[in-house]
Amino acid sequence: MKYKIAGILACAVILFIALMPTPDSLDGSESPRVHQHLQAKAQQESGRDTAAECSHGDDVLCTHLPLVVIDISDDEIPGDPVHRSNGNVQGKYTVAEDGESTVRAEMRIMDSEGGNNHVNDEAAVSSLIDIRKRGNSSRHFDKKSYDIKLVTAEGENNPQEIMGMDSHHRWVLYGPYLDKTLLRNYMAYNIAGEIMDYAPNVRFCELVLDGEYRGLYLMTETITAGDDGSRLNISVNKKNQTFSGYILRLDRGSSNPLKNIDNFSSYTRRTRQILNIEYPGTSNLDRELAEGIRKDFSRFEKALYSYDFDDRDGYRKYIDAQSFADYFIINEFSCNYDAGMFSTYIYKEADGKLKMCVWDFNSAWDNYQEAAVSPYGFQMQNRLWYFMLTKDEDFVDLVIDRYRQLRKTYLSDDYIDNYIDETVEYLGDAIDRNYQVWGYTFGSDCDLLTPKDRNPGNYEEAIKQLKDFVHLRGRFMDENIESLRQYCAESRTKKFKEDSN
Ligand SMILES: [Zn+2]
């Protein structure tokens, strides 16, 4: 009998352990997210990193990071802002000689496992690309960022796995310039990738463009779907006018008017920004499909802005509230206040719920050019969809509980300090090489931020600024996160249903 009870107990314990939710792992063992610097460290520790001493001279470019070499021959890369004598022409960009927005080029990526990379090494990836400059304010910077599309000689999509990231044909080659730490996007995407279902994959690399060394870059997965290896599970059938999901972006709108949708929050003037369809892309989209997507998305917004928005038939039917809460927390924690207005991605997968996806932390943690961001306050509750979500007690509870939980893991001071230190250590002399080209930006005659005293004088200062702001922000949020309840507090105006009876 004793053994029987022990047996039942043992079974119960095993069952209990098996059914327990997997905790967020901090050692990376259960996480499919690849953090480049942690992966390299693990390889080193396991003895797989057998980087031999190079025998070449000091004049050869030699890096432990993947090396991207792009050759364009004689052409200029299009996408520069068009200037007139009286200033810039808003939203107009230079085009190639043939009138296209991109130019054809060759790209080779040297990425030897565990070893160093050089321009003349055998390439791990080699493809033709269509390339253009990208960004809004960042197009005016000396160090450019690029949109890259891998293509075949016939111009067909040519998806490739790059630096261990899932196969894709569209990439962003982002050059940190305003972000003197070089770390903001890398860290934010990777932490978001641990917390949320989906965040762009990202890897550090170095760039040689037409034979010229251009410094440290981040190869970044674009937020897109499709059948060429993208990680988002969305399918569209233009012929049958069916779709299992879509990706939308709130920003300044697309140059293709078909992609810009007149959704509920747009025609009711709740936002001045424009929501545009990112996926399906131009070749897979027509007027009927765009209209179907507009209607589908507006159902969510109508539910959100209705009197019974927090009922059973309200917004919850349409969204993954956890994803919206995580997006709120990550952007609020980093004071990334373009979120919810610009570069704001929202998507629907085959499971039918809308989710948010993070993008662009260049200006996060007090790195906006124009003025300092206060770490003492909250702003996300004023952003489009969050204006209503934060009127719901359940949603605010979710945000507060989740924040407290994340402060013990991925958003703790220790985790982030350590993350920064380990990444800086991993980047090593790539940081020096980058600032041999771009180091003049630390000079007092090149102040990118106003007022002047916000500009770090060197790399160490930039890192210290980032850490100090993270600590300050975390402490403020710890002490004040409960104040978000003011937006969902019961009030006479909120009790309209009872009053109207
Ligand atoms: Zn070498």
pLDDT at 23 over 50: no
Q: How far apart are CA 366 and CA 375, in angstroms?
A: 8
CA of 62 to the centre of ligand 1 (A): 4
pLDDT at 429 over 90: yes
**Rounded alpha-carbon distances, angstroms, from residue 211 to 68, 71, 175, 288, 357:** 11, 7, 17, 47, 36
Question: Which pLDDT band, with edges at 50, 70 and 90, does 22 fall under?
Answer: very low
CA of 333 to the centre of ligand 1 (A): 40
Please say whether the dihedral angle defined by the alpha carbons of residues 309, 310, 313 and 314, taken in this order, is positive or negative. Answer: positive
Q: How far apart are CA 304 and CA 322, in angstroms?
A: 16
CB atoms within 10 A of CB 379: 16
Q: pLDDT tens digits, residue range 211-220?
A: 999 999 999 9
Residues contacting 262, CB < 8 A, separation 6+: 294
pLDDT averaged over every residue in the chain: 89
Q: Which helix (H) or strand (E) holds 146?
A: strand 145-151
CA of 171 to the centre of ligand 1 (A): 27
- Give this prediction's pTM: 0.91
pLDDT at 317 over 50: yes
Average pLDDT rounded to a whole number, residues 92-103: 88
* Residue 181, pLDDT score: 98
pLDDT at 17 over 90: no
CA of 236 to the centre of ligand 1 (A): 46
* Residue 190, pLDDT score: 98
Q: Which helix (H) or strand (E) holds 385?
A: helix 384-389
Structure token pair of residue 474: 């975390």
CA of 164 to the centre of ligand 1 (A): 21
Cis? peptide before 280, omega within 30° of 0? yes
Q: Which H, E and C letters describe 70-101, residue by residue?
A: EECCCCCCCCCEEEECCEEEEEEECCCCCCCC
* Residue 82, pLDDT score: 84
For residue 259, the 8-state DSSP code is: G
Q: pLDDT tens digits, residue range 124-140?
A: 999 999 999 998 888 88
Contact at 8 Å (CB) between 110 and 69? yes
pLDDT at 25 over 70: no
For residue 118, the 8-state DSSP code is: -
Q: What are the extents of the domains in the chain?
A: 61-221, 236-411+479-493
CA of 119 to the centre of ligand 1 (A): 10
Highest-pLDDT range among 117-121, 238-242, 279-283: 117-121
CA of 40 to the centre of ligand 1 (A): 17
Q: pLDDT tens digits, residue range 293-308?
A: 999 999 999 999 998 8
Report which of residues 432 and 78 the model is more confident about. Answer: 432
Structure token pair of residue 32: 């499919």
Q: Which H, E and C letters describe 161-198, residue by residue?
A: EECCEEEECEEEEECCCCCCCCCHHHHHHHHHHHHCCC
CA of 208 to the centre of ligand 1 (A): 15
* Residue 2, pLDDT score: 53
Report which of residues 192 and 228 the model is more confident about. Answer: 192
**Rounded alpha-carbon distances, angstroms, from residue 129 to 53, 150, 390, 456:** 33, 4, 44, 36
Average pLDDT rounded to a whole number, residues 458-475: 98
CA of 56 to the centre of ligand 1 (A): 6
CA of 426 to the centre of ligand 1 (A): 17
Question: Which pLDDT band, with edges at 50, 70 and 90, does 466 fall under?
Answer: very high
CA of 261 to the centre of ligand 1 (A): 51
CA of 49 to the centre of ligand 1 (A): 15
* Residue 501, pLDDT score: 39
Q: pLDDT tens digits, residue range 40-87?
A: 998 888 876 555 678 899 999 999 999 999 999 867 898 988 877 666
